Amino acid sequence: MRFARNLIGNGTIFAPVSIWRPRRKVLAPTFTPKNLNHFVKIFSRQSIVMTDQLQSVAGTGPVSVWKYLTSYTMDSVCETALGVNVNAQRTVDEPFLTAFEECCKLMAARMVSPWLAADALYKLLPYHASFERCKNTICSFVDKVIKSKRKTMTENNTAINKNSDKDMKTFLELLIEATGGDRGYSDLELQEETLVIVVAGTDTSAVGVSFTVSMLARHPDVQEKVYEELREVFGDSDRPVTFEDLPHLKYLDAVVRETLRLYPPVPVVV
């Protein structure tokens, strides 16, 4: 946890209850039925992009799906939570994602290497310089997104875009609204909370999907049942997934839940 804090600071994930509770209330309005319906549309659209990417390597032998999943989850998280499309899936060596993956590798190395745990020693090694360089890339990306969103909100002279529904607020819009004042977010806290959303959302989601894919590969009979359920719901059509489809995907839901029970992403990431 200490090593992760070096990257994402003191966001809500590390905050005591006295800080966590009011901040949770700030973000709760994002989870309205209308927002969740909109999120499914984004997930579906980004899934189509990922499917096209995977199709290009299908039949070429064993392949790691990790880079495809992290690109997909980053695109999905940034669009739903921040309201921006970074096109990580279509960009080779996307700077933020590359820096994020390098930071994760460096943090993992510290976790399993006792001689790297001491900050005084670590700062003398080249690992520290690499970590700081990647961290700066990540923070610069977040700052750019925040400034862009603030500019858009200011130009519209309202807390949200005039052309959007008042209930369709992203996490970032809610966070920006909560900045300033004695009890509001400072600029640093806003950056830290945004980092928590992007970093935690990208990595934990990718880990969860990776384990699900792995479990399906290890259990062909279960994979076949999932496939048959998808055929029953979607047939041979290529139509996008809708919010109304989700209640009909009961077996797939059970598979995902069982995978999360066996391999919960957060402990794995931490």
pLDDT digits (tens, 9 = 90+) for 192-244: 888 888 877 888 899 999 999 999 999 999 999 999 999 999 998 889 999 99
Give percent above pLDDT 70 in the chain: 90
* pLDDT for residue 50 is more than 90: yes
Q: What is the mean pLDDT of residues 167-187?
A: 73
- Structure confidence at residue 49 (pLDDT): 94
* Cα-based distances in Å from 163 to 105, 126, 166, 167: 42, 49, 9, 12
Residue 24, Cα to own-chain centre: how many angstroms?
18
Confidence of residue 183 (pLDDT cuts 50, 70, 90): low
Tokens of 20: 């966590």
- Which pLDDT score is estimated for 260? 95
Helix, strand, coil: what percent of the chain each, to 5? 75, 0, 25
* pLDDT > 50? residue 162: no
Asked if pLDDT for residue 58 goes beyond 50, the answer is: yes
Going by pLDDT thresholds of 50, 70 and 90, the confidence category of residue 59 is: confident
Specify the number of domains making up the chain. 1
Maximum mean pLDDT: which of 64-68, 173-177, 211-215: 211-215
- pLDDT digits 0-9 by tens, 71-107: 999 999 999 888 888 888 998 888 888 898 898 889 8
Helix axes of 201-218 and 95-112: crossing angle, nearest 10 degrees: 80
CATH code for the domain of 236: 1.10.630.10
Q: Give the domain range for residue 44.
A: 2-269
Confidence of residue 184 (pLDDT cuts 50, 70, 90): low
The band of 161, judged by pLDDT with boundaries at 50, 70 and 90, is: very low
Phi, psi of 103 (to 5 degrees): -60, -40
Q: What is the pLDDT of residue 5?
A: 74
Which range (35-44, 116-125, 158-167) has the least confidence? 158-167
Q: Do 119 and 113 contact (CB within 8 A), yes or no? A: no
